[in-house]
Amino acid sequence: MRKMIIAGNWKMNMTNSESSELVKSLVEQIGQVENPLVIVCPPYTALSVVKKLLDGSNIFLGAQNMYAEQSGAYTGEISPSMLLTIGTTYVILGHSERREYFSETDRMVSAKVKLALESGLLPIVCVGEKLDERESGKTEDVIGSQIDGSLADLDADDMKKIIVAYEPIWAIGTGKTATPEMAQEVHSFIRGRLKDRFGDIADEVTIQYGGSVKGDNAAGLLSQPDIDGALVGGASLKVDQFVKIVNSV
């Protein structure tokens, strides 16, 4: 059985005091939930504060990015070993905002994925097509090459530790969600691609959907056979919305 996983990507939001307030409410309301597995990904500055408040709950800590080196002269970057020392378990890699605003390529994402795994962090690897790519019928080409490029040189054992997040770029932060059927089609394509590359382990890989997931549309998306959770941006900053999403599994 695949694990259902709901992750909140707080992006560049939340001071430490706002983070504390948010996470205290989450722990109170969904701190003991075991299915789905719940992850929160605060900004780097709030990771330690949030980790302390999560202790004793079932909610896991994730980071939003990392650099593909363990240490050195890389001003402004954060390494996997640093994330591990403060109790981070998961790390989002290759988010479309990283790809778009910080020019991250599949090659860079792949290097990060490999170092994350070697270090003991569990990656959430994001893929997704732009609106014009969808409209010109290139969705599968784009997603297929992102999957191949971002998950290069891995084996089936590595794949057991990876979560894939399908996030159509046109649906992120726009209020436009893919219909459950549209999302299912791509999720099934991704699983097929993983099966070709890694074999039957593909049936065990959690594939999350992301892009304007809210309390009201989560149940429809999560009832699709190949949608195994959600990566939630805007709605993860609102306690009632995020709780509703978690409870709709």
Residues in contact with ligand PGA by CB under 6 A are 9, 167, 172-173, 210-213, 231-235
The residue with its CB nearest to ligand PGA is: 233
CB nearer to ligand PGA: give 14 or 198.
Answer: 14
Among 28, 167, 185, 204, the one annotated catalytic: 167
Convert 64-96 to b/e letters by CB count within 10 Å (16 or more is b).
bbbbbeeeeeeeeebbbebbbeeebebbbbbbb
CB nearer to ligand PGA: give 36 or 210.
Answer: 210
Q: Closest approach of Cβ 57 to ligand PGA, in Å?
A: 22
Query: DSSP secondary-structure letter at 215?
Result: T
Q: Closest approach of Cβ 173 to ligand PGA, in Å?
A: 4
CB nearer to ligand PGA: give 9 or 79.
Answer: 9
Q: Closest approach of Cβ 15 to ligand PGA, in Å?
A: 19
User: What is the rounded distance in angstroms from the CA atom of residue 211 to the CA atom of residue 233?
Assistant: 8
Among 95, 97, 104, 133, the one annotated catalytic: 95
In the chain, what's the furthest Cα-to-Cα distance? 49
Tell me the residue type at 220. Answer: G
Torsion angle of the four alpha carbons 192, 194, 200, 206, in this order, in degrees rounded to the nearest 10: -100
Residues listed for the chain = 249
CB nearer to ligand PGA: give 23 or 165.
Answer: 165
Q: Which residues contact 169 (CB under 8 A, 6 or more apart)?
A: 96, 100, 128, 129, 130, 131, 211
Q: Closest approach of Cβ 204 to ligand PGA, in Å?
A: 23
Q: Closest approach of Cβ 234 to ligand PGA, in Å?
A: 4
Residue 175's CB: how many other CB atoms inside 10 A? 9
CB nearer to ligand PGA: give 61 or 231.
Answer: 231
34 catalytic per annotation = no
Residue 198, phi then psi, degrees to nearest 5? -120, -5
167 catalytic per annotation = yes
Strand 37-41 and strand 207-210: pairing? unpaired
Which residues are catalytic, by number? 95, 167
